Amino acid sequence: MSGNILRDIKNDFPIFSRKINGKNLVYLDSAATTQKPNAVIDSIINYYKNCNSNIHRGIYSISIEATELYENARANIGKFINANSSHELVFTRNATEAINLVANTWASQNLKEGDSIILTEMEHHSNLVPWQILAKKLKLKLNFIEIQPDGELILDKLDDLFQDNAKFLSLTHVSNVLGTINPIKDIISKAHSHGITTLVDAAQSVPHMSVDVQDLDSDFSVFSGHKMLGPSGIGVLHAKEPLLENMNPFLYGGDMISSVSLREAQWNEIPWKFEAGTPNIVGAIGLGKAVDYLNQIGMEVVHKHEQELYNYAVDKFSELKDFKIFGLENKHSTGGVISFSYSDFHPHDIASILDGESIAVRAGHHCAQPLMEKLGVPATTRASFYIYNDQLDIDKLFNGLQKVRSVLT
């Protein structure tokens, strides 16, 4: 364990007081979504009970309070990723919507027939499908950075990819299946030297480690609130200010305008230009609280805790026969994720039997079908950790896996 700060942490999360099949919940699916601490839940309740109102332009007290809470959350989240200014943060529904925003604005405006977009083979569907659609529409080429079997990117051919008319590169910071941390600072710097604009899918990194968007120098970064203790339905696009200034709006309507006549309209300033309609006010407030909560713990502690759990699990599971962890040889891992195969047991059977023990793991392709193909499996079972997991959870998973073997053989 990483110090006392995490010792009683489960008490902060009301879901862990629930019994399922008479047992305490062992939640090992935080890469899909995380549980919510009281601080976040209370901030949502407080907003609806005490200051529910629409934001911006309200002249009365509770609207002013709500606007302050919403905009303070933006500033708070901006600081968390070390954004240059809170104006660089656009609230979206999630990382997926943020990627779609960039595809429909910056990329649609700046890419033309014959240009190429560079992606990687480990992308989640959300950082693949929007680019497939845009490539078809604009007759762009998609090129892929390949991965090795241990989950690391093969960067030898990067120069060839850059020189194939590349204008844009979009890649994940951390793999949601393997936990691999990609050397994105280096890749971004090389891309920039070829005049290539970059997007980082930080959905699996911002929740688990300290991420500094200025240090990485990414042009766009995206992440989702629900994967970092915040509510679902709120996500963030971070973009450098000059890029946002020159981008067309994504959606049109109220709040994104400065003035409207019957036949035309002027756009609001950034970031509000990209936030048409009443936004997810309470989602932003809740995410702001989640960031406070993570700051109290410290992202270094979060990262270290997950790595310790990972090492403990790898050691413990080495006792299991025919147990294979994907990407185990990989030295650059967050430690937050273990994707495994276990004998010839199908992941869905493993997950079903573990569920009987009240252990929640994910089985399937994890929305990364091309990566599954590369690993040569139709699906894997994935256990993913967060701050509220402990060695006892790993022990229970271990016992559950022994039960899987006894049921299926």
Would you please indicate which residues are annotated as catalytic (active-site) residues? 367
Sketch the per residue contact string, 43 through 72, with other proteins: x for CB under 8 A, - otherwise: ------------------------------
- Extended strands (E) in 10-115: 19-20, 23-24, 26-27, 89-92
Residue 348 lies near other proteins (rule: CB under 8 A) = yes
Q: How far is the CB of 397 from other proteins (least distance, A)?
A: 15
* CA separation, residue 271 to residues 89, 279, 345 (Å): 6, 12, 49
Q: CB nearer to other proteins: give 237 or 353.
A: 353
**Binding span for other proteins by CB under 8 A among 197-205, 215-223, 264-272, 340-348:** 340-348
Binders of other proteins: how many residues, by CB under 8 A? 22
**Binding span for other proteins by CB under 8 A among 30-38, 245-253, 275-283, 355-363:** 355-363
Burial per residue of 171-180, b for 16 or more beta-carbon CB atoms within 10 angstroms, e otherwise? bbbbbbbbbb
Residue 347 lies near other proteins (rule: CB under 8 A) = yes
Residue 19 lies near other proteins (rule: CB under 8 A) = no
Which has the closest alpha carbon to 398: 307, 321, 292, 304? 321
**Binding span for other proteins by CB under 8 A among 2-10, 34-42, 249-257, 347-355:** 347-355
Sketch the per residue contact string, 370 through 389, with other proteins: x for CB under 8 A, - otherwise: --x----xxx----------
Residue 356 lies near other proteins (rule: CB under 8 A) = yes
> How many residues comprise the chain?
409
Residue 408 lies near other proteins (rule: CB under 8 A) = yes
Residue among 352, 391, 399, 402 that touches other proteins (CB under 8 A): 352
Environment class of 290 (CB within 10 Å of its CB; exposed 0-12, middle 13-18, buried 19+): buried
What span, in angstroms and rounded, lies between the C-alpha atoms of 342 and 346?
Answer: 8
Query: Is residue 212 helix, strand or coil?
Result: coil
Q: Residue 63 corresponds to which amino acid?
A: S
Q: How far is the CB of 19 from other proteins (least distance, A)?
A: 14
What span, in angstroms and rounded, lies between the C-alpha atoms of 345 and 367?
Answer: 20
**Binding span for other proteins by CB under 8 A among 37-45, 95-103, 238-246, 341-349:** 341-349
What span, in angstroms and rounded, lies between the C-alpha atoms of 409 and 405?
Answer: 6
What span, in angstroms and rounded, lies between the C-alpha atoms of 298 and 318?
Answer: 31
**DSSP label at residue 261:** -
Residue 365 lies near other proteins (rule: CB under 8 A) = yes
Residue 3 lies near other proteins (rule: CB under 8 A) = no
Residue 128 lies near other proteins (rule: CB under 8 A) = no
Binding site for other proteins (CB under 8 A): 21, 345-349, 352-353, 355-356, 363-365, 369, 372, 377-379, 403, 407-409
